Structures are given as structure tokens and as C-alpha cells.
Amino acid sequence: MSGPRKIIIDTDPGQDDAVAILLALASPDEVEVLGITAVAGNVPLPLTQKNARIVCELAGKADVSVHAGCAAPLKRKLVTAEHVHGKTGLDGPVLPDPVMPLQDEHGVDFIIRTLRDHPPGTVTLCPLGPLTNIATAFQTAPDIVGRVQEIVLMGGAYFEVGNITPTAEFNIYVDPEAADIVFKSGVPMVVMPLDVTHKALVTKPRNDAFRAIPGAVGHAVAEMTDFFERFDREKYGSDGAPLHDPCVTAWLIQPDLFAGRHINVEIETTGALTTGMTVADWWGVTDRAPNATFMREIDADGFFALLTDRLARL
């Protein structure tokens, strides 16, 4: 396929979401961001749509179309993650309130319209948060499902199990019914679970490299990851914060940084202990058809080299 890959970023920023968006906006040769749809997740919707616009302005890309989507999961009360991301979702740097507008069109309507307006198989959906907007779009307009080129998402876990419950990763846990719809949709999928993202750690040298980038972007990213890492250091005893969501963007730009398997992944929606679990048939012990390329390995040094190089372009 010639030209940059057309994507819609569906997101609940979040410091790591912010870095994923910055990486996409810094890489116009590889990805063309058709628009950003915000969803409730890390923080409630009024903050996620505001944060998405703050990040676009930080990148100097105030012309990006930003849309507010769903404010609550399909069937559950919203669970948020201020304990990780701070009360704004972007705690760390002090960034100005956005001046660029929030579009009037609902995020779900934007997803539907964009998929209908473009030739089938030319738009990739990149969800970085709960899958509420994507599932709602698929339920509202079943004709668009077959038009999606691919879904590349951050979510789930298998070997690393859970981060919000003992068995569930946050994005899937917040709206497991939505995740179930998306994973059963038949759209080709690439999944970046905690198994990969917990290997993409912002160590001090890596963060120093961000901070050394001239201009506002590198400094802001360094302050975000400084804030973000307290939680993970305390919880996992790790060397720094995992940059979960930028793995999605990095895969679009440089897929050879990652390795995984094409397997069956099912979403648990009714488990007493396991709601929101991504049940990944890594060892092929069922006869369920593969529905996702589930990543497990990352070249972390290559990933941070890409990130540092691209952020310096903004």
C-alpha cells in the first residue's frame, strides 16, 4: 500500500496515550491521523476529550479533528484510574488549556462516517482505551465492520495477567462487553497486551533522552513519565513506567520491533473472579479459530530510539 496508513485514534488520555498520539502526529510519512475520538476510561470523558486536544496543541497540530465519544461503558458503571494518571489524567507537566475546538460530531458518528467515506480496507482503528466507542459504532452500523482494514489496540494480558484486578487489564476490564463485541467482530486485530508493554519501560536514561529533546514536547513527555512511574515502581518494583499505548503507534511505524502469535483471544464477561480477562489460547489447546495477533516481545531499545527520534521532530 502506498502512502501513509490512515488511522483513527480512539483514546482516553492518560500520559501513555498522550505519547502514543504524539508519536503518530510526529510520523506523517507512515500514519495519517484522520481524527481522534475520546472515550471515558483513565479519567471521565470531559477530561479525556480535553486532554486529547491539549496533546494535539502540544504537538503543534491544532487542525486535528477531535471528537467526544461515549461517557460510560455499554452496561457497567465507569471505573477510572486517577490513582495512576492523577486527577487530570495528564498530571506531571503543566500544560495550557486547549484553544482548538472540540468537534460537534459524536465520536461514534465520526468513526461510522469516516469508514463509510473511505474505500473498504483503508482505515485502521487504533483504540488505546476501553472499546466502548468501537463496539457502539459496530452495533450502530454493522455495514462498517467489513470496511475496517485492521484494529491495532492496547489492551489485555496473558502472561502478565491483570493490573486492575488479579486477572484483567484496565482497558478491557472497564468495558468487557464492548471488548467482547470487538474481538468477535471478525476484523483483523493486533493486540498489544501488558506482556509487551511491561517490557517498554522508561528507565532513567531513556527519560533523560526525552528531556534532552529541544522544545516543549520532550520536556512534557519526561514530566509525564516521571509522574506516571511512581505507581508502577511501587506496584511492580520495576525500573520505570511502562509506555503501554505508544506500542500501538510504534507497531504501525516499525512492526519488526514486535513479535507475537496469531491466536484465539476470548473476553470473559461473566466470571466471578475473571471479568475482563483476555483468555489467550497461546498454546493452541482449543479448536477456537485465531482472531488476533497477540504480541509478546518488543525490542525495547529500538522502540525508545524510534520514540526519541520522532518526538524530536515535533
Q: Which residues are catalytic?
A: 244
Q: How many C-beta neighbours within 10 Å does residue 36 have?
A: 31
Q: Strand 148-154 relative to strand 123-127: parallel, antiparallel, unpaired?
A: parallel
Does 60 sit behind a cis peptide bond, omega within 30 degrees of 0 on the bond before it? Answer: no
Burial class (CB in 10 A: 0-12, 13-18, 19+), 137: buried
